[in-house]
Homo-oligomer: A and B are copies of this chain.
Amino acid sequence: MALIVQKFGGTSVADVDRIRHVAQRVVDTQKAGNDVVVVVSAMAGETDRLVGLTRSFGAEANPREYDVVVSTGEQQTIGLLAMAIQELGVPARSFTGSQVRIHTDEAHARARIASIDTERIRKELARGWVVVVPGFQGIDSEGDITTLGRGGSDTSAVAVAAALGADVCEILTDVAGVFTSDPNVVPNARKLDRISYEEMLEMASLGAKVLQIRSVKFGKRYGIPIHVRSTFSTDEGTWVVPEDEIMESLVVSGVTYNRNEAKVTMFGVPDRPGVATQVFAPISEAGVVIDMIVQNVSTQGLTDITFTVPRGDLEKALPIVRGVADEIGAAGVTQDSSIAKVSVVGLGMRDHAGVAGQMFRALAEEGINIQMISTSEIKISVVIEEKYTELACRTLHDAFGLGLDELATAEP
């Protein structure tokens, strides 16, 4: 007998039939002898509808009221799902974020979970009831409704699992698990059986959308195994677990890509102490997040600084960058929106030398030029021309033996 937290996303509860299907899934899990707590998102499209309504009234200026409105999406789903489960003859009860006291900080629309009172949930589980709670929301110290920001339901689920000391947090979604790469781009991408929290964090940061980053951090901090699997199949998905539970690490576990960045270069920059701060401080102050930064070796006292920003923020960043360039006497500024960041992630990199060299060689053989490089302990990212995105992913996927057949033999 295990305590299982199951989280269903918006597409899994998109309509009456799907809610019924989810109810059956929950009932099957309980009848297999488990205690079940269900965390749900709003029905697909409902949060967008509610956010749209709030936009008419300057939602940004009133995040407190924004939260009152958008939190109703999940409240609808918890009630409907509890009804659907009861229709199948299993007692179920829904509780709002206020009722189960999901405490957060006061940062409306992007709150962080501080603690969860589990007393009420435990009482219902002890009676043999299924408990259904809303993702994405909580209450602050005033008792006001807060929301966690988009994708927050994953985080809610892992937080509930952590508070209850659950055996597993299942994230049920419309994909079968975490893949070695995007199957739409790399046809022979395969589902991973296991992946470490660290790799999952890198992959989520680099563009894989299967899990919300904060939920992985929670899982890692509290040691909650996360099982990402399909709502529409009972096949095993991908387990996200501590590193020491990965028997034999792959050199590279996944290949990700991100086409949402743009590159800015300031060239002929006088190379003196403090110049980086002069360049980047005003951009950050404007709320633009800088991702990669590369600075060339200085020649004749001048250097080039290249960095990437979200593509949607390019128009905001450029005038600031040009202003700084004038101010510090740089030679000029260029930009490029047609780029992609392609990354390889893998715990095994720590022990295997030469991964970077293997990556660069594989790309070079396909004639793909590397514009920028950035590395961490378990990932290597390169910026390339956007048009090579798919080719680069497929090339790297093959180069590191991630295709279906090769991987099957590499695992224990």
Interface residues of A (CB under 8 A from B): 16, 19-20, 50, 53-54, 56-59, 61-62, 64-69, 71-73, 75-76, 78-80, 82-84, 86-87, 93-94, 96, 98-99, 143-145
Q: Given that A72-B72, A75-B72 are contacting pairs, would A82 and B56 also be in contact in the complex, using a CB cutoff of 8 Å?
A: no
| Interface CB pairs A-B, < 8 A, 26 | A16-B53, A16-B56, A16-B57, A20-B57, A54-B83, A57-B80, A57-B86, A57-B87, A58-B83, A58-B87, A61-B87, A62-B82, A64-B93, A65-B82, A65-B83, A65-B86, A65-B93, A66-B79, A68-B79, A68-B82, A68-B94, A69-B75, A69-B79, A71-B75, A96-B98, A96-B145
Residue numbers in B under 8 Å from A145 (CB-CB): 96
Residue of B with least CB distance to A73: B72
Give CA–CA (A67, B69) in the complex, Å. Answer: 17
Residue numbers in B under 8 Å from A144 (CB-CB): 99
Given contact pairs A16-B56, A69-B75, a sample of 7 additional A-B residue pairs in the complex whose CB atoms are under 8 Å apart: A16-B57, A50-B76, A57-B80, A65-B94, A66-B79, A75-B75, A99-B143
Residue numbers in B under 8 Å from A20 (CB-CB): 57
Give CA–CA (A57, B78) in the complex, Å. Answer: 12
**Which DSSP category, helix, strand, loop or mixed, fits chain A's interface?**
helix
Residue numbers in B under 8 Å from A57 (CB-CB): 16, 19-20, 80, 83-84, 86-87
Interface-centre pick from A53, A56, A65 (highest chain B CB count, 10 A): A65
Give CA–CA (A56, B144) in the complex, Å. Answer: 31
Shortest Cβ distance from residue A111 to the other chain B in the assembled complex, whole angstroms? 16
Residue numbers in B under 8 Å from A80 (CB-CB): 53-54, 56-57, 65, 69
Residue numbers in B under 8 Å from A86 (CB-CB): 57-58, 61-62, 65
Give CA–CA (A79, B57) in the complex, Å. Answer: 10
Give CA–CA (A183, B267) in the complex, Å. Answer: 78
Shortest Cβ distance from residue A215 to the other chain B in the assembled complex, whole angstroms? 25
Shortest Cβ distance from residue A129 to the other chain B in the assembled complex, whole angstroms? 12
Shortest Cβ distance from residue A264 to the other chain B in the assembled complex, whole angstroms? 36
- Cβ contact within 8 Å between A68 and B62: no
Shortest Cβ distance from residue A73 to the other chain B in the assembled complex, whole angstroms? 8
Residue of B with least CB distance to A58: B87
- Cβ contact within 8 Å between B66 and A83: yes
Residue numbers in B under 8 Å from A73 (CB-CB): 72
Give CA–CA (A172, B83) in the complex, Å. Answer: 35
- Cβ contact within 8 Å between A53 and B76: yes
Residue numbers in B under 8 Å from A143 (CB-CB): 99
Shortest Cβ distance from residue A57 to the other chain B in the assembled complex, whole angstroms? 4
Give CA–CA (A83, B51) in the complex, Å. Answer: 13
Residue numbers in B under 8 Å from A53 (CB-CB): 16, 76, 80
